Amino acid sequence: MYFEVHGFVQGVGYRYFARKKAQEYGVTGWCRNTANDTVEGEAQGSEDVMQKFFEAIGKGPSSADVTKVVKEARDVVEGESTFQVRR
């Protein structure tokens, strides 16, 4: 699943928060800052853990102010085993 997080999400540790939540829930994928001040990424896991993951990143760390998370279905990426913060 592709996602893009809008709001005050850069410079507040948001990507590392997302990685921590992904590790807690067993979600694989990646995230990175974009040029338009959002955070985008790709995540995959079972339906129940994805629900928990998106609930968590919809709130973000206390220093962030998430206004919306846009999600788009994507094909599963074979061979992913971790969740990475990309630059």
Among 39, 1, 36, CA closest to 18: 39
Contacts of 26 (CB under 8 A, 6+ apart): 45, 46, 49
- Residue ranges in the chain assigned as alpha helix (H): 14-25, 47-59
Q: Are strands 83-85 and 28-33 parallel, antiparallel or unpaired?
A: parallel
Give catalytic residues, as residue numbers. 15, 33
Amino acid at position 34, single letter: T
